[in-house]
């Protein structure tokens, strides 16, 4: 499986979790899966890239605060 986006530990991502968009911190990333912390008090989750689906990574360089 080829991926356009390579995830690494420390990335903050958004992905579809059922009907909701979920934010999570990548704790560990391998070639096959990632360990995600949703920062909501739940246990970190191991998920494969196939299960993860489309991902959007937070890019602090393009982030702007509203004036």
How do residues 31-61 score in pLDDT, each as one tens digit? 999 999 999 999 999 999 999 888 999 887 7
- How far apart, in Å, are the Cα atoms of 55 and each of 19, 44, 47? 14, 17, 12
Question: Average model confidence (pLDDT) for the chain?
Answer: 86
What stretch of H or E contains 27?
A: strand 20-29
Q: Are the C-beta atoms of 12 and 57 separated by less than 8 Å?
A: yes
Query: Counting Cβ atoms within 10 Å, is residue 32 exposed (0-12), middle (13-18) or buried (19+)?
Result: exposed
| Residues recorded for the chain | 67
């Amino acid at each position: 499986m080829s991926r356009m986006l390579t995830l690494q530990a420390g990335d903050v991502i958004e992905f579809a979790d059922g009907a909701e968009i979920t934010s999570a911190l990548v704790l560990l990333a391998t070639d096959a899966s990632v360990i995600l912390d949703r920062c909501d008090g739940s246990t970190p989750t191991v998920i494969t890239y196939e299960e993860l689906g489309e991902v959007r990574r937070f890019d602090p360089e393009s982030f702007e605060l509203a004036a």
